[in-house]
């Protein structure tokens, strides 16, 4: 696990509440797609109690796709290719597969499943808590 210095990243391992209601938007913008790797490390790390970080992956993917910016879409595609052999979490593997499909067919984008408070993410988080 890489040691991240920013306060926001330290929150992943603390008992503190997440400080911003739009946490997903605070972590990402199209310009810092590399944060995907950090988020995936948090998700895969059993010591990280904040599994809500999972939703940030969907928000970023949705934002990149709806931007129609080929530079950002290419960066996301490269990041996903690099990530495939690195992460074993079923949640991350599913996100990678779903993201690849969305990149291929951007017309299938739905805010309900790729935006803030994604239905898909909520279902996955509650399913994993049972």
Query: For residue range 56-77, what is the model confidence (pLDDT) as tens digits?
Result: 888 889 989 999 999 999 999 9
Is residue 68 exposed (0-12), middle (13-18) or buried (19+ Cβ within 10 Å)? exposed
2 within domain boundaries = no
In this prediction the pTM is 0.77
Asked whether residue 4 is assigned to any structural domain, the reply reads no
Residue 130 has pLDDT above 50, yes or no: no
> Which DSSP letter does residue 95 get?
H
Residue 34, both tokens = 């590399």
Mean pLDDT, the chain, rounded, equals 78
> Model confidence over 22-40: pLDDT tens digits?
656 666 655 667 778 888 8
**Structural domain contains residue 86:** yes
Q: Are 4 and 38 in contact (CB under 8 A)?
A: yes
| Residue range(s) defining the domain that contains residue 62 | 31-129
Cβ-contact 79, 34 below 8 angstroms: yes
Tokens of 10: 């330290």
Does residue 6 sit within a domain? no
Of the ranges 13-17, 46-50, 67-71, 112-116, the best mean pLDDT one: 67-71
Asked, for residue 92, whether it belongs to a domain, the answer is yes
d(CA 9, CA 63): 21
How many domains does one find in the chain? 1
| Residue 81 counted as domain residue | yes
């Amino acid at each position: 696990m890489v040691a991240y210095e920013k306060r926001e990243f330290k929150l992943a391992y603390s008992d503190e509440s997440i400080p911003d209601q739009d946490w997903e938007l605070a972590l990402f913008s199209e310009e810092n797609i590399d944060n995907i790797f950090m988020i995936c490390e948090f998700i895969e790390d059993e010591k990280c109690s904040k599994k809500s970080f999972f939703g940030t992956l969907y928000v970023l993917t949705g934002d990149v796709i709806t931007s129609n910016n080929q530079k950002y879409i290419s960066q996301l595609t490269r990041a996903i290719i690099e990530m495939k052999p690195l992460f074993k979490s079923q949640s991350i593997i599913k996100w990678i597969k779903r993201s690849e499909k969305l990149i291929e067919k951007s017309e299938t984008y739905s805010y309900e499943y790729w935006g803030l408070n994604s239905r898909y993410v909520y279902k996955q988080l509650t399913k994993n808590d049972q």
